[in-house]
Structure 1
Amino acid sequence: EKIQKQGGDYLFAVKGNQGRLNKAFEEKFPLKELNNPEHDSYAISEKSHGREEIRLHIVCDVPYELIDFTFEWKGLKKLCVAVSFRSIIAEQKKEPEMTVRYYISSADLTAEKFATAIRNHWHVENKLHWRLDVVMNEDDCKIRRGNAAELFSGIRHIAINILTNDKVFKAGLRRKMRKAAMDRNYLASVLAGSGLS
């Protein structure tokens, strides 16, 4: 509701714990529908690193029988499905691995716009996780007790944002971290935000 009040639209992934919504998608989009969609659809095929991936995107208006979801999700206009078929090129005889993801949106999306939106989201998400892992070694972190893992992840996000926004010392994140660890003046300027553009 807040997103729409500010003039924006949402595109949310439907999680498995959203039982009623998840079940509605499974009933609306059975496997045979995914293989031969009767709604607006868009497909992309890519080959790289010895793998082939075909991604199918399907978008439809909220059907009458699911209209009650528009009360729970203000402005809901579209039900969206992303199906990916992944296979290793060298293993031609193996069945491709299929993944189905469901989304809801308040935007008036076409299947092609939906494909672009989720592709861009995953690019940003993957870029952030790559930085967290490569620069901050997040995957090697052994902190597991209570909320500590989530708290440290939040601290890492803040550190990456602060260091990325610093324009005084032009270097990569790893060098900026090292400099902040060894130079108290630089650390103080970064924390004070004096290097912001």
Structure 2
Amino acid sequence: DHGRLEIRRCHAFDALQCLPRPEQWQDLKSFAVIESTRQVKGLQTTEYRCYISSLPADAQRLAHAIRAHWSVENQLHWCMDVAFADDQMRARTQYAAHNLAVLKQLVLN
């Protein structure tokens, strides 16, 4: 646990009228709020992240889907950083960063 305590709660809702213009998302069935409370070295912080979904308002299922998505993102980032030292890249002019990212993805695949 590295001295950290983190508690995550998922709140799922199907009251879509709470959202601004819910009709703009085809097949929208629910939205979720992930509440993450962390305690590190005695300091407690709480963060809220919001998601929309075409899944029913089932907190357990939505929490699992969200966690699985971020697991894939984190694993890909790790591969990019180890293989290409991506965190050290300093290409920031015009389209250089985007072009290099496309090339790196192509090579990784």
Structure showing greater Rg: 1
Normalised to the residue count of structure 2, the TM-score between the two structures is 0.90
Q: 2:30 aligns with which of 60, 78, 85?
A: 78
Structure number having the greater strand percentage: 2
> Residue 155 of structure 1 corresponds to which residue in structure 2?
103
Q: Indicate if the aligned counterparts of 2:37 and 2:46 stay in contact, CA closer than 8 A.
A: yes
Q: Indicate if the aligned counterparts of 1:58 and 1:80 stay in contact, CA closer than 8 A.
A: yes
Structure 2 Cα separation of the partners of residues 108 and 147 of structure 1: 40
Query: Aligned runs of 1:32-181 on 2, under 5 Å?
Result: 48-64=1-17, 66=19, 68-69=21-22, 71-88=23-40, 91-92=41-42, 94=43, 96-161=44-109
The alpha-carbon deviation at position 128 of structure 1 amounts to 0.3
1:174-197 C-alpha deviation (Å, 9 max, x unpaired): xxxxxxxxxxxxxxxxxxxxxxxx
Amino acid at match of 2:72: V
Size of the aligned set, in residue pairs, is 109
- Name stretches of at least 5 consecutive residues in structure 1 with no aligned partner: 1-47, 162-197
Structure 1 Cα separation of the partners of residues 48 and 57 of structure 2: 19
- Name stretches of at least 5 consecutive residues in structure 2 with no aligned partner: none
Q: Which consecutive segments of 4 or more residues in structure 1 shift more than 4 A? A: none
C-alpha spacing 1:141/1:158, structure 2 compared with 1 (3 Å): same
Structure 2 Cα separation of the partners of residues 83 and 107 of structure 1: 19
Corresponding residue SS for 2:56? coil
Corresponding residue SS for 2:90? coil
Q: Indicate if the aligned counterparts of 1:52 and 1:86 stay in contact, CA closer than 8 A.
A: yes
Structure 2 Cα separation of the partners of residues 106 and 158 of structure 1: 30
**Percent identity between the aligned chains?**
36
Normalised to the residue count of structure 1, the TM-score between the two structures is 0.52
The alpha-carbon deviation at position 62 of structure 1 amounts to 2.8
Output the aligned Cα RMSD: 1.6
Q: Indicate if the aligned counterparts of 1:62 and 1:76 stay in contact, CA closer than 8 A.
A: no
